[in-house]
Amino acid sequence: MSREAHNSDLPWWKGATIYQIYPRSFMDSNGDGIGDLPGITQRLPHVANLGVDAIWISPFFKSPMKDFGYDVSDYREVDPIFGDLTDFDALVTRAHELGLKVLIDQVYSHTSDEHAWFEECRSSRHNPKADWYVWADAKPDGTPPSNWQSVFGGPAWTWDARRGQYYMHNFLSSQPQLNLHNREVQDAVLEVMRFWLERGVDGFRIDALNFAMHDPELRDNPPAPATDKARTRSFDFQLKKFNQGHADIPAFIERIRELTDSFDGVFTVAEVGGDDAMREMRLFTEGEDHLNSAYSFNFLYAEKLTAQLVCRSLSEWPDEEGVGWPSWAFENHDAPRALSRWCNGEDCDAFARLKTLLLMSLRGNAILYYGEELGLRQVDIPFDQLHDPEAIANWPLTLSRDGARTPMPWDESASAGFGSKEPWLPVGDANRARPVAVQDREEGSLLASTRKAIALRRANPAMKHGKVTECRHDGDLLILRREAAGQTLEFRFNLGTKPIGLDDCQGRVLMAINGASHSDLPAYAAIITEISE
């Protein structure tokens, strides 16, 4: 069997490279300072030229934007700041013309308090949707029914005088928790999923899936063990044993899979973070009746990129029957930009090339965050320009998520090509100096090397979907071996600043960066070779 035939036998998403777009910050087409769907459509050729397989668009649904789209008030409508359903249809059509699949976020653990479902639910204890959200009576002394804390700080319960009860919210008080134990609620969100599938989407990233169900007995969470790390949120003082990760979530996932399997080639990936993430990710993706993949947090908040971290992370997803398929990201809309975490003033351009090639070399799906191909950094947002509710509440101890959500720099103009008006967040001086237009002209730019790394992944089955037969580390040296379709590749990465000599590197060179050779790995260098059996 040829390598091409071997690839064609696999689903499109197996080893895919996916490009995450944060719609507020990608491209402003109408001059209001906020990115929108027509702006994304306008810039899709750039994404297609990267060589990626799919785009993932963060929420664009109707919302009061208290958590910037993750508080949905209508699952089937586009928020007017982003456009309308016609704009979305045009985006899907154009993406498919360019050979790009389209994934969208779905937020099922909670809605906005402005959603029609919640407005009906809170109106009384006896309306048709009275049990669609999580409500509970106060304790005899009037305090909340459990000790659960919200991610954004403070109790996960808010008193509502109309019902004379508390409602639960794992995030903002304006994000009430859906009661997914209720079959009717499951039916409703599955119909939302069907709505978007019928509009042509190719898959979903399901937000905060391990928060989707709670313990109906409302048992208190136990305290977390003591730690030397500063805890800026009350949420961090507990083990989240009862407010998330309920044992009935996999049965709900089976219903999702039944629906998505009725369409062709749909990909599903769960966002699962927290104390018990590895067990839950395995559970949510095991076998052929759950989700296709889970979105790993291993690297998103890591203070340093190490060879040991890479090997440990890969070992958690062995190539075994029934074990799911991982998805990896070094950056996203919630985590600080990787270069700002991992590069301490040395040659950050060289490190960025290494980081990108490493991401493309991991077994699993590779998710690039918009601007990562340019080497964008975290922007320091002053307090008076913050939008992130978590950062505002915990200032200055929580690093603002806004700093990773700044506008995409497209050209050298005053607006960085983002739009004609002052953008909703500052571009940042360091990022303004790295626009697409400049890097597109430079043969040695990070943008050019990103395209080459993605192309290499697409062309080599061992790199795209092969099993890991070896992963070892020696200080800053990382050595991987991967195999598929009769191909064996060896990968050597120097994750440090000191040169490393090699005495066992053999095979035909497929790619070498930052001065790497068969015998030497300078600082941040890497070499990939094909081994003849």
Given this model, what pLDDT does residue 38 score? 98
Taking the CA atoms of 473, 474, 478 and 484 in sequence, report the sign of the dihedral they define.
Answer: negative
Given this model, what pLDDT does residue 85 score? 98
Q: Is 207 a catalytic residue?
A: yes
Alpha-carbon distance of 383 to 396, in angstroms, equals: 8
Q: What angle do CA 8, 20, 321 make, to 5 degrees?
A: 45
Asked if residues 190 and 88 have their Cβ atoms less than 8 Å apart, the reply is no
- What is the residue-wise DSSP string for 416-436? TTS-SS--SS---HHHHTS-H
Confidence of residue 394 (pLDDT cuts 50, 70, 90): confident
By C-alpha distance, which of 162, 101, 151, 99 is closest to 126?
Answer: 162
Of the candidates 71, 271, 373, 388, the residue annotated as catalytic is 271
By C-alpha distance, which of 17, 4, 43, 11 is closest to 457?
Answer: 17
Q: Residue 373 carries which DSSP code?
A: G
CB atoms inside a 10 Å sphere around CB 290? 23
Structure confidence by residue, pLDDT tens digits, 75-90: 999 999 999 999 999 9
Q: What domains are defined for the chain? A: 12-111+181-456 (3.20.20.80), 467-531 (2.60.40.1180)
Mean pLDDT of 484-511: 96
For the chain, the distance separating the N- and C-terminal CA atoms, rounded to the nearest angstrom, is: 17
Given this model, what pLDDT does residue 364 score? 98
Structure confidence by residue, pLDDT tens digits, 178-227: 999 999 999 999 999 999 999 999 999 999 999 999 999 999 999 999 88
Given this model, what pLDDT does residue 7 score? 54
Alpha-carbon distance of 274 to 39, in angstroms, equals: 34
Given this model, what pLDDT does residue 532 score? 85
Given this model, what pLDDT does residue 345 score? 73
Given this model, what pLDDT does residue 2 score? 39
User: Nearest 5°: phi and psi at 320?
Assistant: -130, 155
> Which spans in 388-477 are helix H?
389-393, 429-432, 436-441, 446-459, 461-464
Q: Residue 361 carries which DSSP code?
A: H
By C-alpha distance, which of 375, 370, 394, 380 is closest to 425?
Answer: 380
Of the candidate ranges 24-33, 134-143, 222-231, 405-414, the one whose mean pLDDT is the lowest: 222-231
pLDDT at 8 over 80: no
**Sequence-distant (≥ 6) Cβ neighbours of residue 262 within 8 angstroms:** none
Mean pLDDT over the full length of the chain: 95
Of the candidates 71, 87, 207, 372, the residue annotated as catalytic is 207
- Kindly calculate the radius of gyration of the chain based on its CA atoms and give it in whole angstroms: 23
Q: Is 280 a catalytic residue?
A: no
Structure confidence by residue, pLDDT tens digits, 146-157: 999 999 889 999
pLDDT at 3 over 80: no
Asked if residues 270 and 285 have their Cβ atoms less than 8 Å apart, the reply is yes
Given this model, what pLDDT does residue 386 score? 87
Structure confidence by residue, pLDDT tens digits, 30-82: 999 999 999 999 999 999 999 999 999 999 999 999 999 999 999 999 999 99
- Classify burial at 142, counting beta carbons within 10 Å of its beta carbon; exposed 0-12, middle 13-18, buried 19 or more: exposed
Given this model, what pLDDT does residue 4 score? 41
pLDDT at 6 over 60: no
- Per the model's pLDDT, the better-predicted residue between 113 and 6 turns out to be 113
Residue 472 Ramachandran class (φ > 0 left, ψ -120 to 50 alpha, else beta): beta
Rounding to the nearest 10 degrees, give the CA dihedral for residues 250, 201, 42, 339. Answer: 20
Predicted TM-score (pTM) of this structure = 0.96
pLDDT at 384 over 90: no
Given this model, what pLDDT does residue 158 score? 98
Alpha-carbon distance of 19 to 42, in angstroms, equals: 16
Confidence of residue 416 (pLDDT cuts 50, 70, 90): very high
Preceding amide of 59 cis, omega within 30: no
pLDDT at 5 over 50: no
What token pair was written down for 181? 């134990």
List the helix and strand counts (H, then E) for the chain: 15, 20
By C-alpha distance, which of 389, 527, 516, 392 is closest to 456?
Answer: 527
What token pair was written down for 490? 């060896």
Structure confidence by residue, pLDDT tens digits, 299-334: 999 999 999 999 999 999 999 999 999 999 999 999
